[in-house]
A and B are shown apart, each in its own frame.
Chain A
């Protein structure tokens, strides 16, 4: 009896303390070096292991199978339940091949003869040694594993009105599912079309978390772990950028002049991307915008224009009403 009375008396204070404790701002977690991905499309083999690993680890439901009719890519785009997405780009008989390649390439074996032989005889000839197959053919098949870019100035983060989208201690962009109320502003703001609202599930916004739960335990993200060719490299952004430059230098030295980095410099979105790519063609070929804009830059001008419009309407109103005097 005495114990029960004590508990009764203690309960309200406990609750009060709990409520106050939840209102107190937690100290920020210790800063860590920024982590990200370097996705090297020149060695991607399109196995989709990253897609599968991502779905498995994050327990994402499968999308309804739908035949795209364009390539092996039936997913078509990143979405609320697709956080890694492999694209397949088939380029047949690219035309101005000579212009695109550096003079260095001239001493490398051309495969035009072998391709003609294969076409005519139906036999695949032996590849000469030293031939770097996918880069110098007139026909080639590009694969690209797309993912959230974890932008330094993330438009989704800027647009989020609830504060559900935050920057973690690893400087990644993360959606807190218990805060998000599904307004959809992030989905429109993202210049890469990454984040989306889950219309079939919990109606909140979802995207790649860079496997925040795995990072917390010192593990690497599931897609990077599963990648069999190390096309997806995970690590500290600063080091990855150096690695990307090195790889680009190697490729260009060997005559692949079309190789380029996407998002590795700080120009894109006024701060660069924490998940960047080595591409073998124009960014548009991979459905990446060449020079995306920050939607947040439009907020102030648009607001000012609204005020100007209201002022003009008001002045016209004065004019109209004055006539009646």
Chain B
């Protein structure tokens, strides 16, 4: 009996592939050299994913709290928006630092390609700071952000 760890079961669930050592050993290979190139993304991308996810999650929760929450949830909304902005700030420098030629990062912004995940992600950067600055402007104008102000952020 092969002991299935939780990680293995999760991997099977996500990829739909069950590892089978016996079958894999009989499959023809070219000296077991990998077919694909390994990703060349290092610690910058790990932190980018973590902080970007944190920012997105905070923003969603904060928006929900602002739109549907009660009076005492305002603090959730406010913390969420600020945290989202803070987590977001290091992301673009991380993404640019990861490039082989960081000084050419602008080259990415002149192309819009639906088929390229990197392209789509780069262009999302226009929208997110826009929403954040609008939140800050709204914050500056009214002491307590009201629902109408948050609606305009979307």
Contacts and interface: CB of A to CB of B under 8 A. Distances in A.
Interface of B: 27-31, 33-37, 39-41, 56-57, 60-61, 63-65, 68-70, 72-73, 76, 98-102, 104-105, 107-108, 110-111, 113-120, 122
Nearest to A185: B118
B39 A310 contact: no
A82 interface: no
Contact of B108 (A70, A183, A205): A183
Contact of B68 (A158, A162, A321): A321
Contacts of B72: 324
A284 B57 contact: no
Contacts of B107: 162-164, 179-181
B73 A324 contact: yes
A61 B139 CA distance: 58
A197 B40 CA distance: 8
A302 interface: yes
Give chain A's interface secondary structure class: loop
A211 B49 CA distance: 38
Nearest to B73: A321
Interface stretch (A107-115, A123-131, A186-194, A218-226): A186-194
B118 A287 contact: no
A289 interface: yes
A159 B118 contact: yes
Nearest to A297: B115
Contact of B101 (A188, A204, A296, A325): A204
Give 6 nearest A-B pairs by CB, closest first. Answer: A182-B100, A203-B100, A181-B104, A287-B30, A161-B119, A317-B64
A181 B35 contact: no
B101 A203 contact: yes
B107 to A, nearest CB: 4
Interface of A: 68, 70-71, 73, 76-77, 87, 89, 158-164, 179-185, 187-188, 190-193, 195-199, 202-205, 281-282, 284-289, 296, 299-300, 302-303, 310, 313-314, 317-318, 321-322, 324-325
Contact of B110 (A70, A163, A284): A163
Given A162-B104, A324-B73, 19 more contacts: A71-B31, A87-B30, A159-B117, A160-B113, A164-B107, A180-B107, A183-B108, A183-B118, A185-B117, A187-B40, A191-B35, A202-B101, A284-B27, A284-B29, A299-B116, A302-B117, A313-B57, A317-B61, A325-B70
Contacts of A203: 100-101
B43 to A, nearest CB: 14
A193 B60 CA distance: 38
Contacts of B118: 159, 161, 183, 185
A183 B99 contact: yes
Nearest to A296: B115
Contact of A289 (B27, B35, B61, B120): B35
B108 A162 contact: yes
Nearest to A162: B107
Question: Which of B37, B98, B122: most chain A CB closer than 10 A?
Answer: B37
Given A161-B111, A286-B30, A299-B117, A188 B37 contact: yes
Contacts of A322: 68
Contacts of A181: 99-102, 104-105, 107-108
B44 to A, nearest CB: 11
A160 B115 CA distance: 9
Question: Which of B64, B76, B100: most chain A CB closer than 10 A?
Answer: B100
